[in-house]
Amino acid sequence: MSNTDYYIKSYCSIKNQRVSLNGSILFKDESKSYIDFIKATYKNQNVKYPKFFKMDNLSKLAFLAADVLLKNEELNTESENNIAIVFSNSASSLDTDRKHQESIQNKESYYPSPAVFVYTLPNICIGEISIKYKLYSENSFFIFDNFNADHLFTYSNSLLSSNKADAILCGWVEFDKEDNYEAFLYLVSDKGNIKHTKQNITTLYNT
Amino acid sequence: MDALKQELKENIIEQLNLEDMSPDDIANDDMLFGDGLGLDSIDALELIVMLDKSYGIKLTDPKEGRAIFESINTMAAYITEHRTK
């Protein structure tokens, strides 16, 4: 199968207090803080997954963006799904890394939180999504200075053409302090209406 | 002891991010793990840190936690006997 046979089946964006799916706004909220916004989004999307509240900020963002996409896929979460995950960002898990660092800063008050520490890697958010949707396939989390459509395109095509996965959930999920959050995730497979090209990925990301 | 139990419930809800749960939702003899509140292994570690930070109790053997963290009643009894602050 050549590269041109793959398609962007659906895409989701969460930024500027808005959640959109395939270009249409699903939810918007005037909450000033990210924490209030993401909680309002969770309730609006009727997610019902208590572990969400234990996640760090990056995982909450990635989890909800993935949830918006995957709940329309009607996956059987009782069996394994061969969907790979390829994520990227620039801040890695820096927001949580800082929280952990603060908790070990003072030797007189040295109480690192295990619940914070377990999120001091960016790819933990991939695990959260994989657990919920039973995604048993390849996964990678890349760190770039900026959104890198080139790399995501090439890597996804490689996974699909080598039959490593039936579909790829990929994109950019970034959280670095309250006012800097953005998720842009999309599903690539051999079905869909938008051709999987670097240009289309870039266009959708910038929408 | 009742004040301590109330305090424990509030701390557990806050520290373990038990959203949409209030102290009234936790009975003193509810199982904290398993079929009760459904806490997990990371929560158990958080409770060990909480014992140290809030009550000056250092658990050197994590296996001790199984009996101590069985319920609010068992936690309160252990803290009352061993607290250093």
pLDDT in the model for residue A167: 96
Nearest CA in chain B to A117: B42
Confidence of residue A107 (pLDDT cuts 50, 70, 90): confident
| C-alpha distance from residue A71 to each of A20, A46, A51, A121, A123 (Å) | 14, 11, 17, 26, 21
With an 8 Å Cβ cutoff, is A53 touching chain B? yes
pLDDT tens per residue across span A42-63: 999 999 898 999 999 999 999 9
| A4, pLDDT greater than 60 | no
For residue A1, is pLDDT > 70?
Answer: no
- Cα A15 to the chain's mean position, in Å? 12
- Whole-Å CA distances, A105 to A62, A100, A108, B35: 29, 9, 9, 37
Whether the CB of B83 is below 8 Å from some CB of chain A: the reply is: no
> How far does the CA of residue B46 sit from the closest CA of chain A (Å)?
6
Q: What is the DSSP string of B57-72?
A: ---S-GGGHHHHTT-H
- A119-141 pLDDT, tens per residue? 999 999 999 999 999 999 999 99
Q: Three-state DSSP class for A139?
A: strand
pLDDT digits (tens, 9 = 90+) for B47-70: 999 999 999 999 988 788 889 999
Q: Does A110 touch chain B (CB under 8 A)?
A: no
Digit-coded pLDDT (tens) for B21-44:
899 999 999 999 987 788 888 999
**Substitution target from A35, A43, A103, A111 for chain B, most B beta carbons within 10 A:** A111
With beta carbons less than 8 A apart as the criterion, state whether A142 and A148 touch: yes
Nearest CB partner across the interface for A113, out of B18, B38, B49? B49
Q: Using a CB-CB distance cutoff of 8 angstroms, which residues of chain B are in contact with residue A53?
A: 17-19
Task: Sketch out chain A's domains with CATH numbers.
Answer: 3-205 (3.40.47.10)
In chain B, where are the structural domains located? 2-18+27-82
Q: What is the mean pLDDT of residues B7-27?
A: 93
Minimum-distance CB partner of A118 among B42, B49, B52: B42
For B2-18+27-82, give the CATH class. Answer: mainly alpha
Residues 6+ apart with CB under 8 A from A57: A34, A35, A38, A95, A96, A175, A181
Burial label for A30, CB within 10 Å (0-12, 13-18, 19+), is: exposed
Q: Do B46 and A114 touch (CB under 8 A)?
A: yes
Nearest to B46 among A50, A53, A113 (CB): A113
Q: What is the pLDDT of residues A74-87, one digit of tens each?
A: 898 888 999 999 99
Pick the range with the lowest mean pLDDT from A9-13, A41-45, A177-181.
Answer: A177-181
